[in-house]
Amino acid sequence: MPGALKGAALEDFIRDAAATYHHQTCTAKIGRDSMSFVDAKLQVYGIQNLRIADGSIMPRVTTGNTMAPCIVIGERAGEILRAAYGM
């Protein structure tokens, strides 16, 4: 707890301590429509050698926690990279 802060000091504490517990997803969705950024191989459209493998590629928010889908995305990214680079 911040103690007996007032005025600007209290405002600074609130600004520094505030955080979100939301899991950001769907900001660079996978797909083929005009709102999509990533293809099925997790490559960003129009940028060579850049892939995204996190919750941002989900086309829709899951109804539960995002951890399990993110693990699946990571596992799939590993498979894609192993196949692409012969590992």
Q: For residue range 22-47, list pLDDT tens digits in order.
A: 777 888 999 999 999 999 999 999 99
Of the candidates 23, 29, 51, 76, the residue annotated as catalytic is: 23
23 given a catalytic annotation: yes
Three-state SS for 50?
A: coil
pLDDT at 21 over 80: no
| Stated pTM of the model | 0.70
Q: Which two tokens stand for residue 35?
A: 């709102």
